[in-house]
Structure 1
């Protein structure tokens, strides 16, 4: 059972396009055009073209592409900000908000032509007017998890002490510890992003595919068959051994 997955995108539409080209090349080699592509979340923030990212995803899904798009913590922050009554994600540290320079919300709004220098009330009004309702609804309705074969996909990971069918939204989009240091088998390979690392890495019980796209590095596209995974490159598949 083959599944493709794409790591955190963070507003880099050109990198998203490159990842899909790599997947198309692998489909051609493998003779398989029906395997789903799971986008692991964090579509927005930091990069210059969140609007383009969401436009591409909406267009592909509308045309029948077998794409699954999961919600990341940055997507949830965007969703909450754009509600009629702006809401702050309760998992943020007290000194942070979505428009803080460390988080990248301003870059997201700028991609829609929002004037991010406006006072807070006017900025929120301008954002609600310029971010299309279709985009707001898409972000709000993103699923939190996806299961296929031997794999369980979630943006941040899982709480290792909770069954997969009882995971909490906060953990699925925000967790780091105790998930990252837990070496137990979780019943399925957990495929996730959220925690930026230098390159996609297979840890045996989990696979992290966040390769720092939010900091200008290439997005990772991988193909999974069972619990085995390969990084897709211009030269074909590169095995991701367990570490």
Structure 2
């Protein structure tokens, strides 16, 4: 693991409660083959350091674009049975839930990676034949109930100590308690260009960067796994942030 953070942040540094360690990942996008090695890194670190309280935070966009959404959700659901996990919603999960209610949006979903998700459940978008309702019925039959429950129970954000975890970011100028779901899942420029020191340090994904980007007010750990083969894991303990 490589330290990124200490010299770039003005005091006081954001801090987790004593004894707490957070492991964070974002934008897995169906890359189960990249997720498993990162989970092994977490397990090895837990076995070596034995923190008093470990929390694994996954910050959305588990589905679409990458090759194996189904296995990715299976792995995360199984992980939740053995570890202390927090699962946040991403814009891709939100859009899939909307597509299931509004079939006319199917082609929009396919264009942003839905075809790969369908294929992972054994459903081919080539079977569309002009009727999205039938294709979505086929998906509804193929997707396990545990996956449906997983998608329904995703949280919008998670706070621990001085850190606020969210998929995309926040609307500058609004208190964290008044943020809108659309911004938490999809905001880009207004947040990314802001130098505002928010009430919490924001850890997010959603906008791919070449390597983990740590700034004075936020950290972006979406490194475009499905396109680059690089899934970033961040570990936070006390005031120390490490990324691999």
Work out whether the TM-score is over 0.5: yes
Q: Does 1:4 align with 2:23?
A: yes
Residue 113 of structure 1: CA displacement? Answer: 0.4
Q: Does 1:28 align with 2:47?
A: yes
Residue 124 of structure 1: CA displacement? Answer: 1.5
Q: Does 1:134 align with 2:146?
A: yes
| Aligned with residue 235 of structure 2, among 202, 214, 223 | 223
Residue 12 of structure 1: CA displacement? Answer: 0.5
Q: Does 1:97 align with 2:86?
A: no
Q: Which residue does 1:93 correspond to in 2?
A: none
Q: Does 1:112 align with 2:130?
A: no
Q: TM-score, normalised by structure 2?
A: 0.86
How many residues align? The count is 222
Cα distance in 2 between the residues matched to 1:131 and 1:82? 12
Residue 131 of structure 1: CA displacement? Answer: 1.3
8 A contact 2:115–2:124 mirrored in 1? no
8 A contact 1:36–1:66 mirrored in 2? yes
Q: Which residue does 1:237 correspond to in 2?
A: none
Computed over aligned residues only, the root mean square deviation of the Cα atoms, in angstroms, reads 1.7
Q: Does 1:154 align with 2:171?
A: no
8 A contact 1:150–1:226 mirrored in 2? no
* Cα distance per residue 1:182-212 (max 9 Å; x no partner): 0111021100000000011111100000011
Q: Which residue does 1:51 correspond to in 2?
A: 70
* Cα distance per residue 1:108-162 (max 9 Å; x no partner): 0100001211122321221111112321221122001000011000000111111
Residue 82 of structure 1: CA displacement? Answer: 2.6
8 A contact 1:76–1:140 mirrored in 2? no
Cα distance in 1 between the residues matched to 2:94 and 2:87? 13
8 A contact 1:200–1:220 mirrored in 2? yes
- Can you give the 5+ residue segments of structure 1 that lack an aligned partner in the other structure? 90-95, 233-243
8 A contact 1:82–1:127 mirrored in 2? no
Residue 227 of structure 1: CA displacement? Answer: 4.5
3-state SS of paired residue (1:230): strand
Residue 27 of structure 1: CA displacement? Answer: 1.8
8 A contact 1:149–1:226 mirrored in 2? no
* Structure with the higher helix share, 1 or 2: 2
Q: TM-score, normalised by structure 1?
A: 0.86
Cα distance in 2 between the residues matched to 1:19 and 1:175? 27
Residue 227 and residue 79 in structure 1: after superposition, are their counterparts in 2 closer, same or farther (change >3 A)?
farther
| Aligned with residue 177 of structure 1, among 180, 186, 189 | 189
Q: Which residue does 1:196 correspond to in 2?
A: 208
Residue 75 of structure 1: CA displacement? Answer: 1.1
Residue 107 and residue 33 in structure 1: after superposition, are their counterparts in 2 closer, same or farther (change >3 A)?
farther
